[in-house]
């Protein structure tokens, strides 16, 4: 069946925008209630290993897994129960994920009410089964076809830091007056973009889509899926330096969103406080600038940040009648003045789309961060400042600067390695250690080999893993303290949350 035929099926299933469940390969089992009825399911297995021997093993395992989906899981579960070796158990869990073939979920999906499943294995048979050579290509083709048939406003956001927070703020502001669909969490790859596009139905007014650029994917390719009319780059900083070859490489990648917008005569929102973005948008006529700079069209400043950010918006004359004057103060639930630009971006997009100043304020004031992004989590006499979903030099410097300004009887920083910095890693971690040495914090705890290489032990205590740090901490160690927790997600600083019985990150769906 060709891809256009598949799209016709998609329209018959749900003309008002198919919510396509992406069965990611990391799911070991899928409970029936997790499978939405009247949906088309795309079963995407892991990429085959490049090594020829591993490839043969993979094919054999996949064959048995598809024909006998419960065999492998039960076999490995029994092995896990019999073993008392933690390292071996860890390898078993890795094996479950690494060699999981999502085609094995196909029959379960149909049994649970799915209308169709899309697979790349001819071992899966049935009237409801659509076979394709490449499941992801089929999925993206459907998303692009859907996007071409809907006349909806799409705003896309990229940048080195703050993409997800900005996306959430924009969607919250728009939702005060319109129906908005947004990227779930930070699912900003081709799958995430396609998934969000397929959720935009007839009743939706605006799609708010986050676009990432790690893992070698091209922003311009993601733009061809999302086809945004509005675009925004939060900032250009030191993120994913390993893959992009320095800041100038990042500029080149991030500007692809602007290139797409300008090529299609769209509208752009520019952070005027970032010189790299100012250069990118120079001379383009369809731009609203935002920032603290006196020339910013949407201008604002931080008037409080202890601990929550309060923003003063200097309302343009065009909106002053609606706003009731030239100044509008907005109280957020966000930690840190580094979130000021994210708030101003949401104000800019909301105002451009016709959201009233009062509803812009209400939207921002009702937004509460989650998933360890600029979150303040109290636990008895301890106040955790959680910003541990990800970290790069730009975001970590900003978080530490704001934490240093915080008035508190006791301040402790827990910092994990900043990953994906490549040849820049040692220098960036050394700079961070030097910065902390000059600050007056009560204690600094470091996690990860990069901070170890950078001499973290000279400034504070160093731990090889987050688990070892968590094991060493007691409630009394942190009593009456504000505790900043910042690091790359791969370091696993959520172990601290488990230790102190704090809310965990929302599970993937």
3-state secondary structure 395-438: HHHHHHHHHHHCCCCCEEEEEECCCCCHHHHHHHHHHHHHHHHC
Looking at the chain, the domain(s) classified CATH 3.90.190.20 span 375-499
In whole angstroms, give the CA distance from residue 258 to residue 433: 35
In whole angstroms, give the CA distance from residue 206 to residue 187: 18
In whole angstroms, give the CA distance from residue 416 to residue 451: 8
Cis peptide upstream of residue 307 (ω within 30 degrees of 0): yes
Give the pLDDT of residue 291. Answer: 98
Give the pLDDT of residue 484. Answer: 95
Looking at the chain, the domain(s) classified CATH 3.40.1190.10 span 150-366
Count of alpha carbons within 13 angstroms of residue 224, beta-carbon side:
8
- Residue 28 CA to its chain's centroid (Å): 22
Give the pLDDT of residue 140. Answer: 85
Rg of the chain, C-alpha, whole Å: 24
**Mean pLDDT (whole number) for 287-292:** 98
Give me the chain's average pLDDT, please.
81
**Mean pLDDT (whole number) for 88-113:** 59
Give the pLDDT of residue 122. Answer: 77
- Residue 130 CA to its chain's centroid (Å): 31
**Tokens in use for 331?**
């109280």
pTM of the prediction? 0.80
Give the pLDDT of residue 318. Answer: 95
pLDDT tens, residue by residue, 324-356? 999 999 999 998 898 999 999 999 999 999 999
Higher pLDDT, 271 or 406: 271
Residue found under tokens 């504070």: 460
Percent of the chain exceeding pLDDT 90 equals 48
Give the pLDDT of residue 23. Answer: 36
Give the pLDDT of residue 246. Answer: 67
130 contacts 59 by C-beta, under 8 angstroms: no
In whole angstroms, give the CA distance from residue 454 to residue 465: 16
pLDDT tens, residue by residue, 369-392? 887 677 888 889 999 998 877 788
Sorting pLDDT into bands at 50, 70 and 90, what band is 314? very high
State the distance between the two ends of the chain, measured CA to CA, in whole angstroms: 29
Start-end of H helices in 83-134: 86-98, 106-111
Beta carbons within 10 angstroms of residue 229's beta carbon: 15
**151 has a pLDDT exceeding 90:** yes
Give the pLDDT of residue 210. Answer: 96
**77 has a pLDDT exceeding 90:** no
**Mean pLDDT (whole number) for 54-68:** 60
What are the CA-CA distances from residue 380 to residues 146, 336, 375, 377 (Å)? 50, 22, 16, 10
Give the pLDDT of residue 300. Answer: 98
State the DSSP H helix or E strand holding residue 478, giving kind and residue range, or none if neither: helix 475-478
pLDDT tens, residue by residue, 156-207? 999 988 899 999 999 999 999 999 999 987 788 888 898 899 889 889 999 9
Give the pLDDT of residue 373. Answer: 76
- For 247-304, give the DSSP string: HHHHHHHHHHHHHHHHHTT-EEEEETT-HHHHHHHTT-SSEEEEESSTT-SEEEEEEE
What are the CA-CA distances from residue 110 to residues 35, 39, 41, 199, 330 (Å)? 9, 10, 9, 21, 49
Give me the sign of the Cα torsion angle 189, 192, 195, 199: negative
Q: Which CATH superfamily is domain 150-366 in?
A: Mur-like, catalytic domain (3.40.1190.10)
Higher pLDDT, 299 or 113: 299
Q: What is the DSSP letter of 340?
A: H
**Mean pLDDT (whole number) for 406-428:** 92
Question: Among the listed ranges 96-100, 272-276, 433-437, which one has the minimum average pLDDT value?
Answer: 96-100
81 contacts 138 by C-beta, under 8 angstroms: no
- Those residues with Cβ within 8 angstroms of residue 250's Cβ, 6 or more apart along the chain or in another chain: 160, 236, 237, 238, 239, 240, 241, 244
**Mean pLDDT (whole number) for 416-431:** 92
Report the CATH number of the 375-499 domain: 3.90.190.20
In whole angstroms, give the CA distance from residue 114 to residue 33: 11
Question: Among the listed ranges 245-249, 351-355, 483-487, which one has the minimum average pLDDT value?
Answer: 245-249
Give the pLDDT of residue 168. Answer: 96
pLDDT tens, residue by residue, 104-150? 667 767 776 667 778 777 777 788 788 878 778 888 888 898 899 89
Give the pLDDT of residue 94. Answer: 47
Sorting pLDDT into bands at 50, 70 and 90, what band is 74? low
């Amino acid at each position: 069946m060709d891809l256009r035929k598949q799209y016709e099926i998609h329209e018959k299933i749900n003309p008002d925008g198919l919510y396509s469940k992406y069965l990611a390969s990391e799911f070991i089992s899928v409970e029936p209630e997790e499978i939405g009825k009247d949906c088309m399911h795309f079963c995407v297995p892991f990429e085959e290993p490049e090594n020829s021997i591993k490839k043969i093993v993979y094919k054999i395992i996949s064959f048995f897994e598809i024909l006998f989906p419960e065999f492998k899981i039960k076999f490995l579960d029994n092995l896990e129960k019999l073993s008392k070796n933690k390292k071996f158990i860890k390898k078993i869990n890795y094996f479950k994920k690494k060699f999981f073939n999502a085609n094995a979920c196909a029959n379960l999906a149909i049994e649970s009410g799915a209308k169709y499943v899309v697979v790349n294995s001819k071992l899966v048979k049935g009237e409801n089964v659509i076979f394709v050579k490449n499941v992801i290509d089929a999925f993206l083709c459907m998303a692009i076809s859907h996007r071409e048939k809907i006349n909806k406003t799409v705003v896309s956001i990229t940048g080195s830091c703050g993409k997800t927070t900005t996306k959430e703020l924009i969607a919250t502001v728009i939702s005060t007056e319109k129906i908005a669909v947004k990227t779930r969490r930070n699912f900003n790859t081709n799958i995430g973009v396609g998934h969000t596009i397929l959720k935009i139905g007839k009743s939706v007014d605006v799609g708010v889509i986050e676009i990432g650029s790690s893992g070698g994917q091209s922003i311009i390719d993601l733009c061809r899926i999302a086809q945004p009319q509005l675009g925004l780059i939060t900032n250009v900083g030191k993120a994913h330096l390993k893959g992009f070859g320095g800041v100038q490489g990042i500029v080149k990648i991030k500007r692809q969103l602007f290139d797409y917008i300008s090529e299609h005569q769209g509208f752009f929102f520019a952070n005027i406080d970032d010189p790299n973005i100012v250069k990118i948008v120079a001379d383009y006529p369809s731009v609203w600038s935002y920032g603290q700079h006196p020339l910013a069209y949407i201008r604002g400043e931080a008037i409080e940040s202890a601990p929550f950010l309060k923003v003063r918006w200097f309302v343009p004359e065009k909106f002053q009648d609606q706003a009731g004057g030239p100044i509008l103060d907005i109280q957020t639930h966000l930690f840190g003045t580094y979130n000021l630009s994210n708030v101003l971006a949401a104000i800019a997009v909301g105002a451009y789309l016709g959201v009233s100043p009062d509803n812009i304020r209400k939207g921002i004031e009702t937004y509460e961060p989650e998933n360890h992004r600029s979150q303040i989590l109290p636990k008895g006499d301890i106040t955790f400042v959680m910003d541990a979903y990800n970290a790069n030099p730009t975001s970590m410097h900003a978080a530490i600067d704001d934490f240093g300004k915080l008035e508190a009887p006791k301040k402790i920083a827990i910092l994990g390695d900043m990953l994906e910095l490549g040849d820049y890693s040692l220098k960036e971690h050394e700079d961070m250690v030097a910065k902390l040495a000059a600050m007056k914090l009560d204690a600094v705890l470091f996690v990860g080999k990069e901070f170890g290489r950078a001499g973290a032990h000279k400034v504070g205590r160093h731990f090889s893993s987050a688990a070892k740090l968590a094991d060493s901490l007691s409630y009394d160690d942190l009593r009456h303290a504000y505790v900043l927790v910042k690091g790359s997600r791969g370091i696993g600083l959520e172990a601290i949350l488990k230790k102190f019985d704090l809310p965990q990150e929302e599970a993937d769906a």
